[in-house]
Amino acid sequence: MIERVLQLQKDGIEQPQFFGLVFRYADMGEGYDATTLFGTEAHLRDVLKKGGLVQADIDRLFRDAF
């Protein structure tokens, strides 16, 4: 499960738009900082949904991505 999203930002200007996502998984233990993934909006929405975020939070993250 995802504990916290640290950052979501646009990666480049190509179409389809790619994003960089930085987040923390819950219960990863000492020494774990964060996980970074790059992908399309559809791919990262799926990751976030499977990680336990609700649709409204996912929509807000992408709406506010810079």
Model confidence, pTM: 0.90
Summary count for the chain: helices (H), strands (E) = 2, 3
Q: Which residues of 3-17 are buried (b: 16+ CB within 10 A; e: fewer)?
A: eebeebeeeeeeeee
pLDDT of residue 44: 98
CA–CA gap between residue 51 and residue 66 (Å, rounded): 22
- Starting from the edge strand earliest in sequence, which strands make up the sheet with 18-25, in order? 2-11, 18-25, 35-40
Q: Where are the domains of the chain?
A: 2-64
Segment 11-35, tens digit of pLDDT: 999 999 999 999 999 988 888 899 9
What does 3-30 look like in DSSP terms, one character per residue?
Answer: EEEEEEEEE-S-SSPEEEEEEEETT--T
